[in-house]
Structure 1
Amino acid sequence: MQLRIGFALVFALVLTSCTTSAGGYSSSGLAPIPGSITYGGQPRTKLTKSPAGSSFPHTFTDQWGREVEEIYVIRPDRSLLIAQRHYRPVFSLDDD
């Protein structure tokens, strides 16, 4: 169920970014944390083959051992915006 809601949110985000004017993002996104792609500044390599407005996930473990998933959106100037951040539980009741 949570996966469906997550996909719906990502789809809504991508759809919204397609309908905004070029370069017209209303926020600066979330602040990067250690492990984020944009922690310490934007990456030196530009994402030239991906279209502006597209999104992609990045999963990493933070300094406290939690699994973090961030969703990035590519801006028209090819920089990255952290649009969403989700902390996954350390343990789950579904584990066998």
Structure 2
Amino acid sequence: MKTLTATALIATLLGASSALALQPIPGSITYNGHQSRLEKAPAGSNFFHTFFGQNGEQVRETYQVNADHSVSLVSRAVANDK
């Protein structure tokens, strides 16, 4: 019974992590399924991308370079100066 409960918990957590993943927005490097690759950047390194969103707010996203040199969106901050 404990094994079944542990398996169910792990499956739930794995499913939740992908469901709660940050989705790209217009202006994001990975928006619309675009896959960027950084050949010279070391895996695990982070970089920032700053742009203005659709409502004029400043958006700063943090990306991480994966082992295959693709990038993943890991965080987003929106500055609302209004």
Using the size of structure 2 for normalisation, the TM-score is: 0.69
Q: Would you say how many aligned residue pairs link Structure 1 and Structure 2?
A: 63
Q: 2:31 corresponds to which residue?
A: 39
Larger strand share, 1 or 2: 2
Listed as ranges, the matches of 1:1-96 within 5 Å are 27=17, 29-41=21-33, 42-43=35-36, 46-91=37-82
Instruction: State the Cα deviation string for residues 6-44 of structure 1 (Å, max 9, x = none).
Output: xxxxxxxxxxxxxxxxxxxxx55411000000002213x
For the residue of structure 2 that corresponds to 1:65, the secondary structure is coil
For the Cα contact (< 8 Å) 2:38–2:71, is it kept in 1?
no
Instruction: State the Cα deviation string for residues 36-70 of structure 1 (Å, max 9, x = none).
Output: 00002213xx2111000000000001111110000
Question: Offset at 1:77?
Answer: 1.4
Using the size of structure 1 for normalisation, the TM-score is: 0.60
In the alignment, structure 1 segments of 5+ residues that lack a partner are 1-26, 92-96
For the residue of structure 2 that corresponds to 1:57, the secondary structure is strand
Amino acid at match of 2:57: R
In the alignment, structure 2 segments of 5+ residues that lack a partner are 1-16
Q: Take 1:80 and 1:50, find their aligned partners in 2: how far apart are those partners?
A: 10
Task: Please give the root-mean-square deviation of Cα atoms over the aligned residues, in Å.
Answer: 1.4
Asked which structure has the greater CA Rg, the reply is: 2
Q: Take 1:62 and 1:39, find their aligned partners in 2: how far apart are those partners?
A: 13
